Amino acid sequence: MPEFDFTRLRRTPDVEAPNLQAWDATDELLVGEALTAGIHGAEIAVIGDEYGAITLALTDAGMPGIRVHQDLVTGRRALARNAAALGITDGADAARRAASERAADEPDGLRVPTYTQGELDESLLTGIRLVLLQLPKSLAELDEIADAIARWADSDAVLIAGGRVKHMTLAQNEVLRRYFGEVQPQRAERKSRLVVARHLRRPDGPPPFPVSSRHSFPSETSTSARVPRAEQVSRAEVEASSESRAEVGRSADGLTLCAYGGAFAGDRIDIGTRVLLGVMSSWAAESVSSRSQARSLNDPGRTVIDLGCGTGALAAAYALAHPASRVIATDRSAAAVRSARATMAANGLGNVEVTLDDAGSAIADGTADLVLLNPPFHLGNAVDEAAGRRLIEAAARLTRPGGEVWTVFNSHLDHRRTLAREVGITEQIVRTSKFTVTQSIKR
């Protein structure tokens, strides 16, 4: 059987660029380990397969039935597109091809799906004997993944995790040792390294996520006073009745923020969001003003979109202050969406719709009166402004004429020019050494 041609894979609908490709050496090493493991595809789970390289290479080698979890919806769509480009249009077709390559007399193979998408839960991992993992960036996400494997995979399951050497740390090994009796790093190859973990330890307590913190906002509007304070919330408080959660969330001085392991910034409020929340609070405090900023943030009954919502801090803060508004929070990360939904529940917010989507692609053009945007400037481990530009373009599409886009971004980025081009007249509202807040009016 010929070797799998990784160069045929694409990142679309994620950003394509000359310095970005849809696979790396880690993918190839993980595929090689799986091919020699002697384990059927139906007993293999793949986690963190960014664009489908691992899943499709194993499928192409005649291993149908693989279960795969990808946090980003862009990765899920890229996997589907790459599968179609390889002639794998659905599970039956892929299984038929794999079965015909193995042996013509294996009719049962025709009914095995090529791969199945799943969330990070029991259905993904029950009966799994081999887990292939592209190591995540955050230790919290690794902690959640390792806990799920130890909790639900087969008792003799083996985890093979890999990453680029420059991004790997000893702390990752320590996280894995909480859940596995043996953690053995392998020799580095082509600037990548694998870590093999065996002898899983079943957790005897509840899952470690979501975590929660309560963030209170002072009434003063000075720049220094706008930074939210955080107080840790116990699991018992998080699991309180919906009535109690509503009382907590609707308190005058703040909100409860929840986070699963893969959510950016966890249950903290990242610095950029803090700055935008402070500006929102400042304008909301001005009950009488002729400026459009105050009008846009105070008018009831508006449709507001938190684009790239993360754990939902902006959406929750706006919805708490404006219960008559319709608020949509959307993100491409499944972990972020789970976190945002938990945040809305913890704050008793029924007027916020949280969706898993790529740059609001499922939302109709011109839906929003106001878009709140804190765009990323990383694509995985790579620094790239293209991710932010994609969300700015989406914000322009989603905003009605005369509507507004409020954006916070790192001050060194040239997003103001992009906002002016894509949305309309853009005014700088606040600028610090690190962050800039702008208001754009949709032309």
d(CA 141, CA 128): 20
* pLDDT tens digit sequence for 4-51: 999 999 999 998 988 889 999 999 999 999 999 999 999 999 999 999
Q: Mean pLDDT in the chain?
A: 85
Cα 278 to its chain centre, rounded Å, is 25
Q: What angle do CA 196, 199, 202 make, to 5 degrees?
A: 120
Over the range 211-229, which residues count as b (16 or more CB within 10 Å of their CB) and which as e? bbbbbebbeeeeeeebbbe
| Mean pLDDT per 10-residue section of the chain, whose length is 443 residues | 89 90 97 97 97 96 95 96 82 47 43 83 98 97 98 98 97 98 98 98 96 74 38 42 36 82 95 91 53 54 94 96 94 98 96 96 97 80 72 97 96 94 96 94 96
Number of H helices, E strands in the chain: 15, 19
Predicted pLDDT of residue 227: 37
* CB-count exposure of residue 110 (10 Å: 0-12, 13-18, 19+): middle
Q: Could you say which DSSP state residue 234 is in?
A: -
Max Cα-Cα span within the chain: 79
Specify the pLDDT at position 299: 65
- Give dist(CA 62, CA 51) in Å, integer: 19
Condensed to tens digits (0 to 9), the pLDDT of residues 351-360 reads 899 999 999 9
The DSSP 8-state label assigned to residue 148 in this structure reads H
Domain 211-441 class? alpha beta
Sign of the alpha-carbon dihedral angle for 325, 326, 329, 330: negative
Predicted pLDDT of residue 379? 56
Beta bridge partners of 132: 46, 160
* CA dihedral for 407, 21, 16, 87, sign (positive or negative): negative
Please check whether the two domains, 6-200 and 211-441, share a CATH topology: yes
**Any idea what DSSP says for residue 187?**
P
- Asked if 124 and 89 touch (Cβ cutoff 8 Å), the reply is no
- Overall CATH class of domain 6-200: alpha beta
Q: Where are the domains of the chain?
A: 6-200, 211-441
